[in-house]
Structure 1
Amino acid sequence: MDERKRDSIVAYLQRRMAEFGITPEAIAASLAEDQRRLQAVKYRDAFGNSWDGEGAAPQWVVQAMSAGQSLDHFSVRRAEAPQADKRASVDWRDDPFAGTRLATVKAEQLQAG
């Protein structure tokens, strides 16, 4: 974005803030509250519904648990998967067969042979 566009947008936003009586402090407080609320979220579904785990469970949690889903499934802070589940990383740059026919042979062909 060039400097003129940026200055134009800033001027527009300042005019609109003055028009509605919005102060920079009010914006900062609103952003801080949003961040606090997002950090408090413990459970979230695929549709964006969230719950902080406090008080009565919302309807989407009740329905999911009635359908047999565990609450851990919706946890935002899941424990990391064990290292054994991760695929080994392969550095193909050092592959001596890269670009040859041997690099394209499928496992089924090897077993059949």
Structure 2
Amino acid sequence: MDERKRDSMIAYLRHRIEEFGITPEDLASALANEQTEARYLSATGDTWTGEGEMPQWLKQAISAGQSLDHFKLAPKAAQPVPSSRPGVDWRNDPFAGTPLARQESHSR
């Protein structure tokens, strides 16, 4: 990228940062949180993201007969999506559990 385009991009980013009230601390925090998460974990707490050269602890474990899958971390579960329907308290419903309660309301 040539110097003029670079300076133009910096000016644009500064304008947008001011517009949204982003602080240098916000940027530093966001960049720190962007680090690649570990995909493999040893019993002693050593981690590897799966990128780059395989670490020595993992090479040794594999050469000793352990499988790579043994060290693989489970993916983080997605956050549950909140229901758009309001909760219903069925404790006081006289029709709960009957065929009448299972019918959809047609008055919507």
Alignment TM-score, normalising by the size of structure 2: 0.40
Alignment TM-score, normalising by the size of structure 1: 0.38
Indicate the structure with greater helix content.
1
